[in-house]
Amino acid sequence: MLGPTASGKTEMAIRLAQHFAAEIVSVDSMQVYRGMDIGTAKPTVLERNGVVHHLIDVAEPTEEFTVARFRSLGRQILDETEAPALVITGGSGLHFRALVDPLSFAPTDPDLRGELEGRETGELAAELLGADPGAAALVDMANQRRLVRAVEIYQLTGETPSSRAASAAAEDVRRYVPEIGFEAVGVDPGSGLEARVDVRLREMREGGLVDEVRSLAPRMGRNARSAVGYREVLSALEDEISMDEAFERAAAGSKKLARKQRTWFQRDPRIRWIPWIDDPDHRLGRILETFD
C-alpha cells in the first residue's frame, strides 16, 4: 500500500495486516532511524496493535542508511519471513522498488566519491562521455550527484551507464517487471491533504517534536538532518529562524514531499489507485475490494 505522506496509509496498513494476519514491511527512508518517531509519523507500539513491523528502527540517526542496505535488509526479511502475508507500505518510491524490483546497486567507495565530489562537473562529464558516448541520454549531466555516482561506478567496476542499462535486469526495471509477486494499491491523498498536513504538524508540535529534535540533534547525521520537519526545527534550534517559521516551512516541505511522492508513484503502472474516502471503515472496504 503506497501513497504520499498524510494519506492515512499507516492506519490502513495495520488494519489490512490484521485482516490477513500479515506482518508489515515499511518502505520509508526516514522511519528506519531510531528515535525519529514523532516527525516521521512512525506508528507507536500501541498503534501497531500487535502487528509486527519490519524495517523500522533499523539504523542510528548518526548513520547514513542507504537504499542498497535497505534492499539487502528487506530481501532478507522477504526470504526469511514465516508470516502468511506481508503488507508493504510507505511513501519512499525508490525504496519500494529496491525491495520488489531487480535493482542492483553497484559498489561504492567513500574515498573515491569524496575525491570525485571535489571535481568540476564539466570534467566529470567529459570523463564519463569519453568512456561512454551514450551516457548523456542516461545520466542527467546537470545533476552533479548523479554524475559523480556514474563516474564512481565506472572507476570501480568498469561499467558504464550504457552497459548497465543494457542488462536484462535493467530492462525489467524499466518495464516494471518485478522480482517478487505483489498487488499494489495507491491511496490518493485527496483534496484534504493540505489541511491534514497542517493538523498533523500541529499535533506533532504539541506532541513534543521540538524536544525530540533537540535531544536527537547531537546524534543526527547528514541524512537524518534532511528529513522534513527535522531540518526546519533544527534551524530554529540553531536560532536561524523562529519556531513558528520553522513549522510553516515544514508544512510547505510536507506538501512538496507529497507532490514528489505522487509524481514518483503515478508512473508505476502496477499501482491501482483508490480515491480518498473520509470514513476509515469505508476506505478499508474499498482497499479490500481492490485486492479481490
Binding region for RNA (CB under 7 A): 5, 28-31, 39-41, 64-69, 91-95, 103-108, 117, 140, 142-146, 148-149, 153, 164-165, 167, 169-170, 173-174, 222-223, 226-229, 252-253, 255-257, 259-261, 263-264, 266-267
- Min dist CB 82 to RNA, Å, is 28
- Min dist CB 257 to RNA, Å, is 4
Q: Measured from the CB atom, is 2 or 274 closer to RNA?
A: 2
- CA distance from start to end of the chain: 14
Q: Measured from the CB atom, is 226 or 242 closer to RNA?
A: 226
- Min dist CB 89 to RNA, Å, is 12
Q: Measured from the CB atom, is 57 or 83 closer to RNA?
A: 57
CA distance 59 to 219: 12
Q: CB under 8 Å to 254, separation ≥6 — which residues? A: 5, 6, 197, 200, 201, 228, 229
* Contact present, 192 and 215 (Cβ < 8 Å): no
CA distance 77 to 93: 19
CA distance 47 to 61: 23
* Contact present, 178 and 101 (Cβ < 8 Å): yes
Q: Measured from the CB atom, is 20 or 190 closer to RNA?
A: 190
* Contact present, 216 and 61 (Cβ < 8 Å): yes
Q: Measured from the CB atom, is 83 or 138 closer to RNA?
A: 138
CA distance 100 to 2: 13
Amino acid at site 143: N
Q: Measured from the CB atom, is 117 or 206 closer to RNA?
A: 117
Q: What are phi and psi of 220, to 5 degrees?
A: -90, 125
Q: Output the CA–CA distances (angstroms, integers) from residue 66 to 20, 28, 86, 119, in the order listed.
A: 30, 12, 22, 23
- Min dist CB 281 to RNA, Å, is 26
Helices 9-20 and 280-291 pack at an angle, to 10 degrees, of 60
- Min dist CB 207 to RNA, Å, is 14
Q: Measured from the CB atom, is 76 or 285 closer to RNA?
A: 76
- Min dist CB 18 to RNA, Å, is 23
- Min dist CB 292 to RNA, Å, is 30
